[in-house]
């Protein structure tokens, strides 16, 4: 009896201490601490990717340490080292370039922290420095861009097309694979002639600079501009118009990403084709991080399903893009 009374007093005391019995929000511990190194804010794609990852971390109840490297690999490496020191449960990052990660990833491995690659991949001789890759099949994006051009050449009845290419960040996965996929797919079609490839670093300002250079050098000889992202495309378009050409008519414009602003320009007819590259990778990242925390298997590579938008389609019913 005495014991029961004691327990009742104790429970009453706890209730009183906890504010007279009203329900206190239970502070739920985050299920997981995820360290994410984002490479920068260079494009609408990148900003959309960051926002999606932040939103999905909140939705999944995952505590997110997000660091923006402002386009510098050394900043990403420093961020990864901070995540290791902080002993996060999972590390994820979007590597700005493919080389130079082995040392820091060996440190993560020694710390027993799994690493997930998001968006882009790395080149490494060492085994299992990362668990998996979540990101687009950039080679296929290049192939899809080329396949549109082959159809366009048939439709225009052209016996040759002079192509200039504005590439993304040197030595990044999307730059290397979008270039390779495109060039491999047009190889063997003798209508296709590549005049020059220039690097625009995925930046709008550099896209404009590249286009000015190409117009000064080749002028009306240019039939096709293949640009590795919408940001550079949107930098190039005013340069084309200022030079007296109609983009989408005098020159075929092929771009990649598929953000709202570029889709609207496609609808206006100033871009002919946009290969989608979705930035919405957050849900897959959170699911993967939770699986790793719980010791469940994960897929070594996850590629989102992506579409091609072009002047061959009616885009009036296309839903808002969200980035």
Using CB under 6 A as the criterion, which residues of the chain lie in contact with ligand GZL when the complex forms? 42-43, 45-46, 119-120, 136, 174, 202, 229, 231, 256-257, 277
Contacts 24+ apart (CB under 8 A), 138-141: 138/173, 138/174, 138/176, 138/177, 138/178, 138/181, 138/277, 139/177, 139/178, 139/180, 139/181, 140/181, 140/303, 140/306, 141/174, 141/177, 141/178, 141/181, 141/256, 141/275, 141/277, 141/306
Q: Which is nearer to ligand GZL, 97 or 113 (CB)?
A: 97
Q: Which is nearer to ligand GZL, 84 or 136 (CB)?
A: 136
Q: Are residues 259 and 322 in contact, defined by beta-carbon separation less than 8 angstroms?
A: no
Cite the DSSP H helix spans in the chain.
2-17, 44-60, 73-85, 102-110, 138-156, 173-186, 204-218, 230-242, 260-268, 282-293
Q: Closest separation between CB of residue 205 and ligand GZL, Å?
A: 13
Q: How far is the CB of 160 from ligand GZL (least distance, A)?
A: 29
Task: Compute the least distance from the CB of residue 51 to ligand GZL, in Å.
Answer: 14
Least gap, CB of 183 to ligand GZL (angstroms): 18
For ligand GZL, the closer CB: 229 or 284: 229
Q: Which is nearer to ligand GZL, 172 or 272 (CB)?
A: 172
Q: Among residues 114 and 174, whose Cβ is nearest to ligand GZL? A: 174
* Smallest distance, ligand GZL to C-beta of residue 138, A: 7
Q: How many residues does the chain have?
A: 323
Dihedral angle computed from the Cα positions of residues 257, 114, 76 and 199, in that order, rounded to the nearest 10 degrees: -40
Of 135 and 161, which has the nearer Cβ to ligand GZL? 135
The CA R_g of the chain, rounded to the nearest whole Å, is 25
Taking the complex as a whole, how short is the minimal distance between the CB of residue 203 and ligand GZL, in angstroms? 8
């Amino acid at each position: 009896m005495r014991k029961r009374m004691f327990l009742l007093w104790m429970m009453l005391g706890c209730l009183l201490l906890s504010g007279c019995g009203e329900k206190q929000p239970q502070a739920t511990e985050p299920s997981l601490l995820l360290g994410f190194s984002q490479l920068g804010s260079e494009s609408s794609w990148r900003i959309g990717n960051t926002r999606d990852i932040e939103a999905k971390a909140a939705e999944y109840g995952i505590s997110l340490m997000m660091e923006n490297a402002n386009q510098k690999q050394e900043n990403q490496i420093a961020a990864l080292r901070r995540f290791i020191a902080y002993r996060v449960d999972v590390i994820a990052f979007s590597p700005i370039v493919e080389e130079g990660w082995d040392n820091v990833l060996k440190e993560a491995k020694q710390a027993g922290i799994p690493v997930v690659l998001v968006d882009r991949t790395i080149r490494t001789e060492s085994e299992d420095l990362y668990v998996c890759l979540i990101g687009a099949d950039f080679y296929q994006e290049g192939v899809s861009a080329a396949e549109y051009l082959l159809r366009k050449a048939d439709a225009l009845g052209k016996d040759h097309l002079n192509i200039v290419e504005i590439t993304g960040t040197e030595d990044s996965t999307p730059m290397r694979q979008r270039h390779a996929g495109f060039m491999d797919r047009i190889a063997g079609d003798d209508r296709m002639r590549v005049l020059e490839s220039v690097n625009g670093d995925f930046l709008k300002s550099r896209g404009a600079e590249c286009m000015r250079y190409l117009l000064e050098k080749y002028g009306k000889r240019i039939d096709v501009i293949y640009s590795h992202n919408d940001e550079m495309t949107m930098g190039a378009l005013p340069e084309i118009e200022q030079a007296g050409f109609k983009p989408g008519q005098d020159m075929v414009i092929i771009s990649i990403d598929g953000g709202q602003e570029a889709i609207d320009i496609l609808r206006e007819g100033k871009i002919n084709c946009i290969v989608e590259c979705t930035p919405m990778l957050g849900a897959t990242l959170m699911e993967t991080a939770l699986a790793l925390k719980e010791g469940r298997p994960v897929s070594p590579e996850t590629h989102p399903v992506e579409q091609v938008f072009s002047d061959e389609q009616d885009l009036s019913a296309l839903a808002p893009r969200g980035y």
